[in-house]
Structure 1
């Protein structure tokens, strides 16, 4: 993306998606348990892009670097250069190679270059990094040198394909401020931080608990922690710009269908508050969240995008990628 001047008058709507396929869930679900969602990405992702183009949405797709690979051998080559040794060995991406096919035609759960091409071909879409191997920056065993090697692998595998990446989303939202210097050295200029509330503070994956998850779930339907708006003046003096999250867009849940209206209303309230305050509202999710109940999830997204257009007309509420917000801060 060229660093052209961007003018902002009344805040904006920021969207980011964590694009990871099985590399993001192999340590959470048993093999095959989440396949419906993962296979569904092939259907859902192009439709998300169609909606983005229809409503003029600028978005950041934080992409796991392994998805750029064209062959299993290419994956193995780059993984050999990342000597990460988590104490919880199940986190390591290289252990998944035994389950990987030879290419994207054979294995749509671990390869994603054709989908990346679709993203690139859609106007106003930014490809950012979700690290190369879905790297966990707070888990025991890994080191800053390991993280630097992971960033380098992403740079190398994507160098001849896209412009240098400028935005990063830390997997599992494990933001590690000790690694910011490494990010800046890799050419990154911004990241998606967590909501500014103790409920969302970065944690090791092994430290998560059911009560915490239940509170986050409840906050998606009822405003417990606030709207988490982001203001330009908060970000302007940051060397590494924190385009903080405002909310996670939870997918449709058949068992809780009666609460869908509350969830959408909660997000709309945040969007409206941002538009009125001249602030930013940052919504995020994973493409695989739409892999199941795809049509209902797309209908929910379109309702939010229609509302965005209303706010755009009334308040000059614009759409921005993460990098575009960072460019505003650098002016």
Structure 2
């Protein structure tokens, strides 16, 4: 449900890319990241508890495969998505041989029980992270493949959650040529990348180690700005870009003594947004919190406590992605 929105104040937007092993199977050796994935079962309910405690509105961009009840159901839908990446290890279908029969036997690839917890928590929006963690900039895929993926999401979620309005492109591979297809599928908004060349959408083949290092550094030291979001820029496009401000990096033990810089950078940006009536969009994956769970949750609570302070002092609000889009639509109507 969209909250009653006060358009005089800016706000904190939170989105989470909920994908379990479907989001990392092609970047890690099998088993290498399992601790983080299994840890989602502990971390996700506690994230939701913090959101409820601080009245946080958040968008959970969910891979459609997590809605499946069985391996057979997954296979049924994946057969309808004929994507042929040049590197077929990117394809979700290639992972079916490693999938168990259901959530009771496979906690890495099924997520209905976790989706149910999200549904039961106030102020949460369930959006899409595509059905198969679809890569929109990799060689071999086509727009018709992407449309088939969107259709699979609609079919598997129908009647279980309200029609999805917010979309997050996997690996942040935003493809502007696919916007019309997204709108035709009922999506109203998406999460774009930070407005800086460091964060420009790229396929895997163009990523470099130096780029990764620079992004890490930017999380601790302000290299690229605060990436605050104004309603005026969102209104300019029919498929609304609820642009990211920052990725919430999880606790890193080797960088323990620098964690304070990361938190300080986020807090300062949130405060600037509160003072200037703009929006700050923070995002991460639940599996980022699957390791060092206590430290990551403590970090999150510190940030949410700061949000609470800004809410009381400046009227800073909490929004899902779709709520920001709805605010833009209302303001546009008022301006006519």
- Report the TM-score, using the length of structure 1 for normalisation: 0.99
SS of structure 2 residue aligned to 1:220: helix
Residue by residue over 1:200-259, the C-alpha shift from the partner in whole angstroms, topping out at 9 and shown as x without a partner, is 000011210000000000000000000000001111232001000000000001111000
Aligned to 1:73: 72
Between the aligned partners of 2:14 and 2:62, the Cα distance in structure 1 is 14
SS of structure 2 residue aligned to 1:238: coil
Aligned to 2:306: 307
The residue correspondences of 1:1-331 to structure 2 (distance < 5 A) are: 1=1, 6-331=5-330
Unaligned runs of 5+ in 1: none
SS of structure 1 residue aligned to 2:220: coil
State whether residues 248 and 283 of structure 1, in contact with CA within 8 Å, keep that contact through their aligned partners in structure 2: yes
Between the aligned partners of 1:253 and 1:51, the Cα distance in structure 2 is 21
Between the aligned partners of 1:29 and 1:48, the Cα distance in structure 2 is 25
Between the aligned partners of 1:113 and 1:11, the Cα distance in structure 2 is 33
State whether residues 5 and 327 of structure 1, in contact with CA within 8 Å, keep that contact through their aligned partners in structure 2: no
SS of structure 1 residue aligned to 2:309: helix
Residue by residue over 1:245-302, the C-alpha shift from the partner in whole angstroms, topping out at 9 and shown as x without a partner, is 0000000011110000000001001101111110000000000000000000000000
Between the aligned partners of 1:108 and 1:236, the Cα distance in structure 2 is 40
Shift of 1:5: 5.6
- Report the TM-score, using the length of structure 2 for normalisation: 0.97
SS of structure 2 residue aligned to 1:134: coil
Q: Pairwise CA RMSD of aligned residues? A: 0.8
Unaligned runs of 5+ in 2: 331-336
4+ residue runs over 3 A deviation:
none
